[in-house]
Amino acid sequence: MIPFKTDPTFYPSPKSAMKSKPEDLAYVACLYEGTKLDRPDFIAVVDVNPHSQTYSKVVGKVELPYKGDELHHFGWNACSSALCPNGIPGIERRYLIVPGLRSSRIYVIDTKENPRNPKITKIIEPEEVKEKSGYSRLHTVHCGPNGIYISAFGNTAGEGPGGILVLDHFSFNVLGRWEIDRGDQYLAYDFWWNLPNEVMVTSEWGVPNTIEDGLKIEHLKDRYGNRIHFWDLEKRRKIQSITLGDENRMALELRPFHDPTKLMGFINMVVSLKDLSSSIWLWYYEGGKWNAEKVIEIEAEKSDTQLPEILKPFNAVPPLVTDIDLSLDDKYLYVSCWGTGEVRKYDVSNPFKPSLVGKVKLGGIGSKEYHPSGVELSGGPQMLEVSRDGKRIYVTNSLYSTWDNQFYPGGIRGWMVKLNSEDGLRLDKEFLVDFGEARAHQTRLSGGDASSDSYCYP
């Protein structure tokens, strides 16, 4: 009998993943939606090895065959969750699962044969997605031990409920909708889980019809979400929901602790209707139920500079915390303030009392910031990706095409920078990727990163 060979990029615990070799390549979602160029999107392959002659250069591209996909979030077909007791043996981290946020089309991209020159091996058309799941506008991708999970903003008519669909691990066929009993859950956005405890957690933004054409102030009071939902992962039913402040809107990124013995995590609230502040909440299980507590608040900044139309009535720049990422040792939380242009680093060793230990300015509304190379950092820091060892943070600057145009009407030129997290937080002066007219969203690192893998062993 020939034994199964375990993928060397799978790690049973976050501690073992932190000891792995550094990443050599980064895969970046690049889009032309919302720009003046009528072109298909692409996945850029970036050399992130500082010892390479092509360091900080785009060394490959996957050109997509269709226009209008709007690439956004994407993920791996398999990851460390395959080592869980119910994982499938013999599977490997080989394919990137890349959905179009606007098109609901899914690309399966093979990175194994030539990691610098990946190839599209399958395209799942939106008709199959909609027919088999009832969902559209696909967002988060996570590799589970028994399938590939993808969240969706809404239904085929652009309303709710949004939810999660599942792909087969091997054929990549759409199996169907994940939820069996969703209760009153209607809005959707992100999701993640604690696999040993069979817990799923989901968050809320809005349905496609209220976000695709940009932010409308009148929708803030009742069309954008502010709840977090907890589910029985095995029975696929919602068991509890928590409202994260009546005044807060847009409950976005979920970052559970990587240590599976810790039933807790963080979630960011983009804006407060009271004062335009952003907040980060800790959710945790205690006393036989789920609880949530606000642990970080970031205030808006008064401004007399020229503001975009949407902010002129307020005379202020909101922080707009649009992404957070947690290091694999669960010690540091990184926060992107897309509005005010900061990346912040918090020590969350005591998750109930985070402390700010570093920050870097990278653009922002009404601000002109330049990379040491002399390139202007238009827009602000948006997506974050933390390396497995926690020493490097990769940052890109596009949120969502229509929202980019509202908050940065002067235009956004896509860029990617790297922050070094040892001894605080500082910008790597040697690393800058300029994507030109294409905008850059999520980054995935070869071999995995802090927001792609789940672990079943502490």
Residue owning tokens 């503001």: 307
Q: For residue 210, tell me if it sits in a domain.
A: yes
Q: Using the 8-state DSSP alphabet, how is residue 438 labeled?
A: S
Query: What is the spatial distance between Cα 70 and Cα 401, in angstroms, rounded to a whole number?
Result: 8
Q: What mean pLDDT is predicted for residues 419-444?
A: 96
Are residues 90 and 110 in contact, defined by beta-carbon separation less than 8 angstroms?
no
Helix (H, G, I), strand (E, B) or coil at 396: strand
Q: Does pTM surpass 0.85? A: yes
Evaluate the omega torsion of the peptide bond into residue 161 and state whether it is cis, within 30 degrees of 0: yes
Beta bridge partners of 31: 439
From start to end of 244-366, where are the E strands?
A: 248-256, 264-272, 278-286, 289-298, 301-302, 316-317, 321-326, 332-337, 342-347, 355-361
Beta bridge partners of 292: 283
Helix (H, G, I), strand (E, B) or coil at 309: helix
φ/ψ (deg, to 5) at 81: -65, -20
Domain span at residue 420?
14-445
The predicted pLDDT at position 89 comes to: 84
The predicted pLDDT at position 305 comes to: 81
Total domains, the chain: 1
For 315, the token pair is 């005379």
Q: For residue 452, tell me if it sits in a domain.
A: no
Beta bridge partners of 165: 150, 177
Q: Using the 8-state DSSP alphabet, how is residue 66 labeled?
A: S
φ/ψ (deg, to 5) at 44: -95, 140
For 197, the token pair is 């405890």
Q: For residue 453, tell me if it sits in a domain.
A: no
Give yes or no for residue 1 having a pLDDT over 50.
no
Q: For residue 61, tell me if it sits in a domain.
A: yes
pLDDT digits (tens, 9 = 90+) for 130-176: 999 999 999 999 999 999 999 999 999 999 999 999 999 999 999 99
Give yes or no for residue 423 having a pLDDT over 90.
no
Residue partners of 436: CB distance under 8 A and separation at least 6? 413, 414
Helix (H, G, I), strand (E, B) or coil at 179: coil
> Which conformational region is residue 69 in: left (phi greater than 0), alpha (psi within -120 to 50 degrees), or beta?
alpha
The predicted pLDDT at position 134 comes to: 98
Average pLDDT of every residue of the chain: 97
Helix (H, G, I), strand (E, B) or coil at 211: helix
CATH of the domain at 243: 2.130.10.10
Give yes or no for residue 31 having a pLDDT over 60.
yes
For 21, the token pair is 């070799």
Calculate the CA dihedral of residues 370, 366, 336, 245 and round it to 10 degrees: 170
Give which of 421, 404, 416, 424 is closest to 445, Cα–Cα: 416
Q: Report the relative pairing of strands 414-420 and 392-396 from DSSP bridges.
A: antiparallel
Query: What is the spatial distance between Cα 91 and Cα 85, in angstroms, rounded to a whole number?
Result: 14
φ/ψ (deg, to 5) at 310: -65, -20
Helix (H, G, I), strand (E, B) or coil at 133: helix
The predicted pLDDT at position 90 comes to: 87
The DSSP annotation for 158-191 comes to S-S--EEEEE-TTT--EEEE--SB-TT------E
Q: Using the 8-state DSSP alphabet, how is residue 17 labeled?
A: H
Give yes or no for residue 20 having a pLDDT over 60.
yes
pLDDT digits (tens, 9 = 90+) for 397-406: 999 999 999 9
For 439, the token pair is 């905008």
The predicted pLDDT at position 5 comes to: 77
Residue owning tokens 């969703």: 182
Query: What is the spatial distance between Cα 225 and Cα 253, in angstroms, rounded to a whole number?
Result: 12
The DSSP annotation for 217-270 comes to GGGTTTTS--EEEEEETTTTEEEEEEE--TTEEEEEEEEE-SSTT--EEEEEEE
Q: For residue 2, tell me if it sits in a domain.
A: no
pLDDT digits (tens, 9 = 90+) for 215-261: 999 999 999 999 999 999 999 999 999 999 999 999 999 999 999 99
Give yes or no for residue 33 having a pLDDT over 60.
yes
Q: What mean pLDDT is predicted for residues 26-39?
A: 96
From start to end of 40-146, where are the E strands?
A: 42-47, 58-63, 75-76, 95-99, 106-110, 119-124, 135-144
Other CB atoms closer than 10 Å to residue 272's CB: what's the count? 18
Confidence of residue 4 (pLDDT cuts 50, 70, 90): low
Query: What is the spatial distance between Cα 340 and Cα 397, in angstroms, rounded to a whole number?
Result: 12
From start to end of 299-438, where are the E strands?
A: 301-302, 316-317, 321-326, 332-337, 342-347, 355-361, 384-386, 392-396, 414-420, 426-436
pLDDT digits (tens, 9 = 90+) for 342-372: 999 999 999 999 999 999 999 999 999 999 9
Q: For residue 295, tell me if it sits in a domain.
A: yes
Q: For residue 336, tell me if it sits in a domain.
A: yes
Query: What is the spatial distance between Cα 24 and Cα 46, in angstroms, rounded to a whole number?
Result: 9
Confidence of residue 3 (pLDDT cuts 50, 70, 90): low
Q: For residue 84, tell me if it sits in a domain.
A: yes
Q: Using the 8-state DSSP alphabet, how is residue 22 labeled?
A: P
